[in-house]
Amino acid sequence: MDKFVINGPCKAFGTIRVSGSKNASLAILAATLLFDEPVELRNIPHVRDTTVFFDLLRSLNKKIIISKDKKKIKIYNSKKKISTFCSYALVKQLRASILALGGLISKHGKAVISAPGGCAIGTRPINYHLNALKRLGMKFKLKGGYIHATAKNGLKENNKINLNLSVGASENLIIASTLGDSTVNLHRVAIEPEVKELVMFLNSAGANIKWIGKRTLRIIGVKKLNRTSYTVNGDRIELSTWAVLATMTAGKLKIDGFNNIKLLKTELDLLRKIGASIKYKKNQIIIQGKKKLKNINISTKEYPGFPTDLACIFGVLLCKANGRSTIKENIFENRFNWIAEVRRLGGKIQIKGNKAIIEGNTKFQGAEELMSSDLRGSVALCLAAISSSGRSVVNRIYMLDRGMENFEKKARSIGVSIKRIS
């Protein structure tokens, strides 16, 4: 199993480019199940989660051609008949595989897909997905750990589907409602930028999807989707990760690759409050850290609130602030697994219910055999190790590889001493 050896403390200086958004890519890849025509996608990050999704699409008999420089992928229907079976072996590697359900049931009227189960950050049920698809006319049974779903006469009209602000359920229902001859109104739709990108992608291929309220979508079914070429925006969580690294190491980074900085208002305003200086030059963000950082209280919330994916990243930053900070986790029930390992680097953090109480002014000291808990937790551990004195070893970095493209290469280019050991 790969690990990172990090020799700190390092200061982050230079220019860095974020990769395409992992979560937008996963939703868009799922939506390609609706197409007969080829789809060209640019800026998909080549991380473990997208690679598993490529495997899932291949297992359904889609053909994927990746350009030599990996910047472009093309997805075709292969000559074989499309399969509607998503195996446990693939779904267990990637919960987002459940996003294939909406596309398969809408396009082929049936799907057999392994139930995804829980994961390190929570039980992560899929009841919102299933209940909403049921209201569109999908029938399903759970047999032997698989969801057997059918919609013999296609999916039908419904004006009142509530998606409870769930990102995945919103994406699944948008995909399921795009084709056909009915109109569907979706309510309490998640408005995370990744959901909005899925809508933009589908509309680029001739779908008829409109935001008719802040969190309401009207989808008028279309007969088919056209050939399209789409470029995925940068990854907002990756961007904030590098911004936090610049802040916590009192460094300076110029960050490229994200084309709508307004979408990051909540997290960048908080970083400013903590003490970073942030400037914009077109779509480049220039961020500079200071020696003295201010403590702050944060609560995670659905977009446009503070993202749960950044709680641990800001958590390690706040270990270095002057005074006590708190982070309240409101989205997932089990997102504090990173804390035990950060304590091994010297972090003074207590957990009370869904709140992490972080005492500031920590001088991290490197530690051996740190264990990554999940993707974002693994990244947080690396950031803490980068700002620690001495050598650290971060294990189980396959977690980080799920969602961060070329992490160590990018980190080295801005002055971090980091080596992967396979």
Active site residues: 119
Give the type of residue at 12: A
Closer CB to ligand EPU, residue 26 or residue 219?
26
- Measure Cα distances from 64 to 36, 80, 310, 372 in Å: 14, 14, 32, 31
Contact string (CB under 6 A) for ligand EPU, positions 86-115, x = contact: ----------x-------------------
Q: Is 304 in the site for ligand EPU (CB under 6 A)?
A: no
Q: Rounded CA gap, 373 and 419, in Å?
A: 20
Residue closest to 307 by CA, chosen among 231, 193, 162: 193
Place of tokens 């800001």: 314
Cα of 221 vs its chain's centroid, Å? 28
Is residue 33 classed as helix, strand or coil in its secondary structure? helix
Q: Is 26 in the site for ligand EPU (CB under 6 A)?
A: yes
Closer CB to ligand EPU, residue 241 or residue 249?
241
Least distance to ligand EPU, CB of residue 232, Å: 13
Q: What share of the chain is helix, strand, coil (3-state, %, to 5)?
A: 35, 30, 35
Closer CB to ligand EPU, residue 65 or residue 142?
142
Least distance to ligand EPU, CB of residue 123, Å: 6
Which region, judged by CB under 6 A, interacts with ligand EPU, from 189-197, 210-218, 259-267, 387-395? Answer: 189-197
Q: Is 240 in the site for ligand EPU (CB under 6 A)?
A: no
Rg (CA), the chain: 22
Which tokens is 92 given?
A: 């267990």
DSSP letter string over 297-310? EEEB-STTSB-GGG
Total residues interacting with ligand EPU, rule: CB under 6 A: 25
Q: In the chain, how many H helices and how many E strands? A: 14, 24
Least distance to ligand EPU, CB of residue 18, Å: 14
* DSSP-derived secondary structure letter, 34: G
Q: Which of residues 363-382 bind ligand EPU (CB under 6 A)?
A: 375-376
Q: Is 295 in the site for ligand EPU (CB under 6 A)?
A: no
Q: Which of residues 391-420 bind ligand EPU (CB under 6 A)?
A: 403
* DSSP-derived secondary structure letter, 136: T
Q: Which of residues 120-179 bind ligand EPU (CB under 6 A)?
A: 122, 124-129, 166-169
| CB-based closest residue to ligand EPU | 168
The residues that touch ligand EPU, with contacts defined as CB under 6 A, are 23, 26, 96, 122, 124-129, 166-169, 190, 192, 194, 307-309, 331-332, 375-376, 403
